[in-house]
Amino acid sequence: MPVAPTNRFLDPWVLAGISGLDLIAKTVVDGFLAGLHKSPDFGFSQEFAEYRAYSPGDDLRHVDWNVFARTERAYLKRYRGETNTGVMVLLDASASMGFGAGVSKFHYAKFLASAIVYLAHLQRDSAGLIVFDDDVRNFIRPSARQGQLMRLLHGVDTAELGKRTNFARPFFELQQFLKRRGVTVLISDFFEDPEKVVETVVPLRFRGNELVLFQVLDPDELEPKLGQAALLVDMETDDAIETSPEYARGEYREKIQAHLEKMRTKSRESGIDYFLLRTDRPLDEGLREYLTIRQGRM
């Protein structure tokens, strides 16, 4: 008798063991799409198009039961399967993203970026990539042409950690590139004042763009475990500070939780999607949850 797997999601450690981002992206996306029974209603470019009256032979899964409950008539919800929507992935490559004992935040962010561009590729959306720290380090123009996926995956693969995070400059330049409406996905640890972050990125929404913020954090950043007083050195500024385990257990956790809550609130107020991903969480599970939430809003 076959034994059912206890966890069908992919552990980040397993992903880290797979060589090649294309394979990782395929594993992740195929994994959660399989979990969703290959529903066509999930993805970034899904936009409601119209209602059509039900006719015999139509798939009952596409019937809008809410409308049926109100009108007692069956209508099918129709979507624009593919559009000229572009997906732009912005990958933070600042030094702080290198934090993490096992799978670092940067590795995890790379897996996530790869999965997103692969998902866009599956939906035949154009996709692009910007790697930045305090400046734009790599830019791949959005395109849906043949070979774009490999270009993007190569761009993600060759991204290296840089210096400090500075959203202002890369986003100013990004606004010059983003002439067409689409979805912009920003992957970062957002160690910055939430107000400043939102203030910087919110202009991207003005041209009908959708903006999604993925905050990637290591468990040790959320719940630092210090056995004894330690001298901590900032990976971006090289500033050093001595701290105690008591502080890490108490005030630090309160502060970072307040920071996350503020990020969530500010994003929601500005109509920006915000989603927190811990690096110890299976990526396909996180993506699936996010897309489910997104689908619920559409």
Partner 1 sequence: MGFLSPWFLAGLAAVALPLWLHLLRQYKRTPQAFSSLMFFERRVQSSVRHRRLRYLALLAMRLALLILLALAFANPFVNRTTGATGRRKLTVIVVDRSFSMRAGNRMQEAKTQAQQVAAGLSGQDLAQVMALDSHLEALTQYERDRGTLRAAIESVAPSDLASSYGEFARALRAMEQNSGMQLAVHLISDMQQSSLPNFRDLQLGPHTSLALHPVGAAKAPNWAVESVATAPHVYDPKQTRRLRSTGMQSARKK
Q: Does 235 bind partner 1 (CB under 8 A)?
A: yes
Q: How many C-beta neighbours within 10 Å does residue 52 have? A: 12
Q: Is the separation of the CB atoms in 210 and 273 below 8 Å?
A: yes
> Which residue, 35 or 98, is less far from partner 1 as judged by CB?
98
> Which residue, 64 or 192, is less far from partner 1 as judged by CB?
192
The contact pattern for partner 1, residues 117-146, with x = CB under 8 A and - = no contact, is ------------------------------
Cα 183–269–291 angle (5° rounding)? Answer: 40
Count of residues of this chain found to bind partner 1 when the rule CB under 8 A is applied: 33
What is the nearest approach in angstroms of partner 1 to the Cβ of residue 243?
A: 5
Candidates 256, 270, 278, 294; binder of partner 1 (CB under 8 A) is 256
**Which of the residues 89 through 108 are near partner 1 (CB under 8 A)?**
96-99, 105
> Which residue, 194 or 282, is less far from partner 1 as judged by CB?
194
Question: In terms of DSSP bridges, do strands 240-243 and 86-92 run parallel, antiparallel, or are they unpaired?
Answer: unpaired
Those residues with Cβ within 8 angstroms of residue 95's Cβ, 6 or more apart along the chain or in another chain: 133, 161, 162, 163, 164, 235, 236
Q: Does 150 bind partner 1 (CB under 8 A)?
A: no
Q: Does 232 bind partner 1 (CB under 8 A)?
A: yes
What is the nearest approach in angstroms of partner 1 to the Cβ of residue 223?
A: 12
What is the nearest approach in angstroms of partner 1 to the Cβ of residue 151?
A: 30
Rounded to whole angstroms, the Cα distance separating 141 from 179 reads 11
What burial class does residue 57 get, using C-beta atoms within 10 Å of its C-beta: 0-12 exposed, 13-18 middle, 19+ buried?
exposed
The sheet carrying 210-217 orders its strands as: 136-143, 126-132, 86-92, 182-188, 210-217, 273-278
Q: Does 240 bind partner 1 (CB under 8 A)?
A: yes
* Binding segment (CB under 8 A) for partner 1, from list 69-77, 148-156, 229-237, 276-284: 229-237
Rounded to whole angstroms, the Cα distance separating 176 from 123 reads 25
User: Which has the closest alpha carbon to 24: 93, 121, 116?
Assistant: 116
> Which residue, 125 or 221, is less far from partner 1 as judged by CB?
221
Q: Residue 270, SS3? A: coil
User: Which has the closest alpha carbon to 199: 266, 256, 262, 133?
Assistant: 266
Q: Does 69 bind partner 1 (CB under 8 A)?
A: no
Q: Does 223 bind partner 1 (CB under 8 A)?
A: no
Q: Does 66 bind partner 1 (CB under 8 A)?
A: no
Q: Does 260 bind partner 1 (CB under 8 A)?
A: no
Q: Does 239 bind partner 1 (CB under 8 A)?
A: yes
> Which residue, 79 or 252, is less far from partner 1 as judged by CB?
252
* Token digits of residue 15: 């992903």
* Token digits of residue 219: 């468990």
Q: Please give the residue ranges that form the binding site for partner 1 (CB under 8 A).
A: 96-99, 105, 189, 191-192, 218, 221, 224, 229-237, 239-244, 246-247, 251-252, 255-256, 259
